[in-house]
Amino acid sequence: MPKRASTRRFAVLALVLALLVSACNQRGGSGSAGAVEKPAIRVAIFAAVDLATFWLAQEGGYFKAEGLDVQADTGASGQEALNRMTNGQDDLALSTYTLFFLAKNNGADVKLIADATSASPRSNELVTVPNSPVKTVGDLNGKRIAISSKNAASDVLTRSVMRDHGVGFDKVQWVPMPLPEMGAALAQGRVDAAYQPEPFLTQAAKVAGAVPVIDAASGSTQSFPLTGFGATAQWVQGHPKTMLAFQRAMLNATRAAVDRARIEPLVVRNAKVDQDIASLMVMPAFGSTLDARRIQRVPDLLQQLGVVQTKLDASAMITPQASTG
């Protein structure tokens, strides 16, 4: 009898031990094979609506579920975010795809980690004010057009939509300035038209009475890829599990972002957008998984416009993509 009791106790202890080992192996997030190489990572960003799914992943616990503590390093622009990543100050960066490909063209060994946004209809427009000499897209050549910076998405999409309508841009006076300042520049007559993405588009309509000239995401740039997350090739090679954990978190957050009620409060709080603007603005199309054929549109357009002289292969820059059930 004592021998049987001893055997039963041994079996129970073995079962408990097995359960503990199983629980330990499952920690660190769904689908992960062991702990990530770097649980605490820094992501260089700039305050934009494009970050809505990133903020949801932070505040909704999606990063935490994958064993990640993700800290945002907020800068003034996509170029600044990209610089902080390439110089090693931050692990990842959110930037525009045009800047990622220009960095690659200039010799930086950058990789694309996850998608963020594409242009949805009426979310990126070229706008003017009623007293401007610009009335239609045909009036744009020779005028002063505000863009965020040369060869940025604002510049490239504006030139593309002008080209689609047979309008030259050889005499355009491009006026680089921060996006929040464009509404006032229009109202004061310092520029004749401006490229405005949301939420600045809705803000310009409210503050300066801005009216659309043309949807910048139309014709050749319909549903154009705008922003994504990247890292250096060296970082990707050294942190494959961390990268996959980040991708899984962003994928799950993007799926949850179909509920606009979860997105608007994040935009108000993190992008400093007024609630009335957030409720009226057109959201971009959020994504997370990178598709090589879709992203290839970016370097192809850069080449067509003469921004780069050689063909860049998007598929060579895209990292393996995580998936969830």
- Residue recorded with tokens 């903020």: 55
Q: Are strands 173-176 and 92-96 parallel, antiparallel or unpaired?
A: unpaired
Q: Which residue type does 224 have?
A: F
Structure token pair of residue 84 = 């902080």
Q: Which residue type does 121 have?
A: P
Given a contact cutoff of 8 angstroms between Cβ atoms, the answer to whether 137 and 214 are in contact is: yes
- Dihedral angle sign, alpha carbons of residues 264, 268, 270, 271: positive
Report pLDDT for 12.
Answer: 41
Which residues does the chain have with pLDDT short of 70? 1-34, 324-325
> Pick from 242, 103, 157: which is nearest to 95 by CA?
103
Output the CA–CA distances (angstroms, integers) from residue 180 to 5, 83, 278, 301, in the order listed.
Answer: 76, 22, 15, 26
Report pLDDT for 106.
Answer: 96
Report pLDDT for 152.
Answer: 87
Given a contact cutoff of 8 angstroms between Cβ atoms, the answer to whether 151 and 88 are in contact is: no
Cα distance between residue 227 and residue 198, in whole Å: 14
Structure token pair of residue 293 = 């054929």
Q: Provide DSSP, 137-157.
A: GGG-TTSEEEESSTTSHHHHH
pLDDT digits (tens, 9 = 90+) for 300-325: 999 999 999 999 999 999 999 987 55
Report pLDDT for 34.
Answer: 64
pLDDT digits (tens, 9 = 90+) for 147-165: 988 888 999 999 999 999 9
Cα distance between residue 196 and residue 220, in whole Å: 18
Report pLDDT for 323.
Answer: 75
